[in-house]
């Protein structure tokens, strides 16, 4: 049978199920593409050719949810301290009842997939994701336009299965499916930097890089600022870089740097598979600094090695959040991609997943990125390039700083790599309206208005040290590791300590932090007022993006933590 006949027969099957009256009248099977699908191959990835038609694939279908306006209202009510519903979080079952796809959507999608030969389909508690297995021939008939290739790329020579071409959905399915995962989005690569080690003579009062003791000194933590070990408080980091950590590295890190505070020397739970071989630097960093900042608190790690080649690790993490009733209260994630490289449908749906997490009282922290304001060319003109999920209005985004004197525990200045800017997708949320308007009206160093969307969601929200960390990886202490992948777990660990105090005082965990953070005008944070981050290297801006200043700014947010003051600000109610 020719490909044309196969396509025609597949279309007839689809039309018989879903076209009903309209398609019978026209005699055609109409298709609708997911808009703005990524079609360009990321740098460093090479195709190894098309897959065998009989090879098996696992694809994830994001089903259209209900009551999204109501979901937004619930987020606002449970996250705003001025609301009578503040802290009255939903259970996973409550969320499922709210957003579960309609019976028509569930029935329509299931019949479409069964007609195509899909098997071993698994849903989640909220029923808004469905993962099914098909062979390549079936998948390409199901999603016309898709053509599955195997690619290899990234520092670890990772292999993935993706389609270089956009897919289309039958028109009758377009209103029931937000996107299909496992076709376009490639795994991210680490932006973590190991900067050259500075040369300095050993002198009393100097330090030779950021360690837990340096963090605790700068952010005013004492040896008593650790978890009690008596609550069900927990924290987590998620990793999507085909990396994993070694427990032996964590133990060695704590032996070298954790002697002056109580801590746990092993991870409580690993979700996913821990591969074999060398540990990854970023995975090691995440675990070691989350567990030393949030000391003596139960810690989970979401790990992606061992996944099937067609899976997207970040998407798999979102599915886990929609399928687990009991989760850690704080999640730190060092993951990001350029907003413009992702479809609007995908971005909006992921944003909805963050809203679901917020209704359950989860605190999600994302690194702001390590490219400053970013840069790309649109119709021959340069613009700044925002990052997602950093630009989501439903996560707390963490930027980066350096010590003013790199060898002393001093005031902080901007780390020039600290990601920040304004979303081109999400409008400015109401909680930050006043702060951002104040920055735009008072900053003496604003870039030209054509470079950024001044009405967009502005980020980051907060910051922490991101320069010059010591990390133990593969049994070797490594100095001068830098990136917002470092600042994010540090800030997350300190929020876990605050949750510990809240739980012991009978209060709910912090949940989605931003409304409260902006209402308090950054109280409890050190304001970072010196420095600018990097951007486009052209004559107009000459490599300079935004600059920090008093109050909130799109480089370091409200600033870095002063733990005793931040605890006082966030402890009650």
Active site members:
282, 286, 485
CA distance readout (Å), 139 to 132, 133, 186, 360: 10, 9, 19, 35
Neighbours of 272 (CB within 10 A): 19
* Bridging pattern class, strands 298-302 and 234-238: parallel
Are residues 104 and 136 in contact, defined by beta-carbon separation less than 8 angstroms? Answer: no
Reported residue count of the chain is: 573
- Looking up tokens 């705003």 gives 80
**Listed residue (440, 363, 443, 346) closest to 397, CA to CA:** 363
DSSP 16: I
Q: Token pair for residue 161? A: 């299965």
Do 391 and 426 touch, CB atoms closer than 8 A?
yes
528 is in an annotated binding site: yes
Pairing of strands 560-561, 525-526: antiparallel
Q: How far apart are the first and last CA of the chain?
A: 69
Q: Which two tokens stand for residue 133?
A: 């297995």
* Residue 372: partners with Cβ closer than 8 Å, 6 or more residues away: 416, 417, 418, 419, 420, 533, 534, 535, 545
Please tell me the distance from the alpha carbon of residue 471 to that of residue 476, in angstroms, as a whole number. Answer: 8
Cβ-based neighbour number of residue 389 at 10 Å: 24
How far apart, in Å, are the Cα atoms of 192 and each of 53, 241, 369, 371, 486?
Answer: 38, 11, 9, 11, 9
527 known ligand binder: yes
C-alpha distances (whole Å) from 340 to each of 171, 351, 376, 388, 534 are 25, 15, 10, 9, 19
| DSSP secondary structure code for residue 449 in this structure | G
DSSP string, 469-531: EEEEETTEEEEEEESHHHHHHHHHHHHHHHHHHHHHTTPPP--S-HHHHHHTTTTTEEPP-S-
Q: Cis before residue 536, ω within 30 degrees of 0?
A: no
Sign for the CA dihedral angle at 53, 56, 58, 63 comes to positive
Binding-site positions for Ca(2+) read: 527-528, 551, 553
């Amino acid at each position: 049978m020719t490909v044309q006949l196969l396509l025609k027969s597949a279309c007839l099957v689809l039309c018989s199920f879903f076209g009903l009256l309209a398609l019978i009248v026209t005699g055609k099977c109409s298709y609708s593409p997911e808009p703005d699908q990524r079609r360009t191959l990321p740098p460093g990835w090479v195709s190894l050719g098309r897959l065998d038609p009989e090879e098996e694939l696992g694809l994830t279908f994001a089903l259209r949810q209900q009551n999204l306006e109501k979901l937004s209202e619930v987020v606002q009510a449970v996250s705003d301290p001025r609301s009578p519903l503040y802290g009255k979080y939903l259970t996973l079952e409550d969320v499922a009842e709210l957003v579960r796809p309609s019976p028509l959507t569930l029935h329509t999608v299931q019949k479409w997939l069964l007609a195509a030969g899909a098997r071993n389909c698994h849903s989640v508690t909220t029923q808004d994701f469905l993962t099914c297995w098909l062979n390549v021939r079936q998948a390409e008939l199901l999603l016309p336009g898709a053509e599955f290739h195997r690619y290899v790329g990234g520092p670890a020579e990772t292999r993935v299965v993706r389609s270089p071409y956009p897919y289309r959905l039958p028109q009758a399915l377009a209103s029931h499916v937000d996107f299909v995962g496992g076709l376009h989005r490639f795994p991210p690569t680490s932006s973590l930097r190991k900067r050259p080690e500075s040369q300095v003579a050993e002198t009393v009062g100097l330090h030779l890089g950021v360690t837990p003791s340096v963090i605790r000194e700068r952010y005013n933590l004492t040896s008593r600022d650790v978890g009690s070990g008596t609550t069900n408080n927990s924290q987590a980091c998620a990793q999507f870089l085909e990396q994993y950590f070694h427990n032996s590295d964590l133990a060695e890190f704590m032996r070298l740097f954790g002697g002056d505070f109580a801590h746990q020397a092993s991870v409580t739970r690993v979700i996913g598979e821990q591969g074999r071989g060398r540990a990854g630097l970023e995975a090691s960093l995440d675990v070691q600094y989350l567990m030393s900042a949030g000391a003596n608190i139960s810690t989970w790690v979401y790990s992606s090695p061992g996944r099937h080649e067609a899976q997207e690790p970040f998407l798999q993490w979102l599915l886990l959040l929609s399928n687990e009733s009991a989760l850690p209260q704080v999640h730190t994630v060092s993951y990001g991609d350029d907003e413009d490289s992702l479809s609007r449908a995908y971005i909006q749906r992921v944003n909805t997943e963050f809203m679901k997490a917020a209704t359950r009282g989860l605190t999600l922290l994302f690194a702001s990125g390590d490219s400053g304001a970013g840069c790309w060319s649109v119709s021959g003109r340069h613009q700044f390039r925002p990052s997602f999920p950093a630009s989501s209005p439903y996560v707390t985004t963490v930027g980066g700083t350096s010590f003013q004197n790199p060898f002393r525990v001093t005031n902080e200045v901007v780390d020039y790599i600290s990601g920040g800017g304004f979303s081109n997708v999400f409008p400015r949320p109401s909680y930050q309206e006043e702060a951002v308007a104040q920055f735009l009206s008072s900053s003496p160093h604003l870039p030209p208005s054509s470079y950024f969307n001044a009405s967009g969601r502005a980020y980051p929200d907060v910051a922490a040290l991101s320069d010059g960390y010591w990390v133990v990886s593969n049994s070797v202490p490594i100095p001068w590791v830098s990136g917002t992948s470092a600042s994010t777990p540090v800030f997350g660990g300190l929020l876990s300590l605050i949750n510990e105090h809240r739980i012991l005082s009978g209060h709910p965990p912090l949940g989605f932090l931003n409304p409260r953070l902006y209402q308090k005008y950054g109280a409890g944070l050190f304001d970072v007022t010196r420095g600018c981050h990097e951007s486009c290297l052209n004559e107009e801006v000459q490599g300079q993006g935004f600059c920090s200043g008093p109050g909130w700014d799109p480089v370091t947010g409200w600033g870095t933590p002063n733990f005793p003051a931040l605890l006082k600000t966030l402890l009650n109610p």
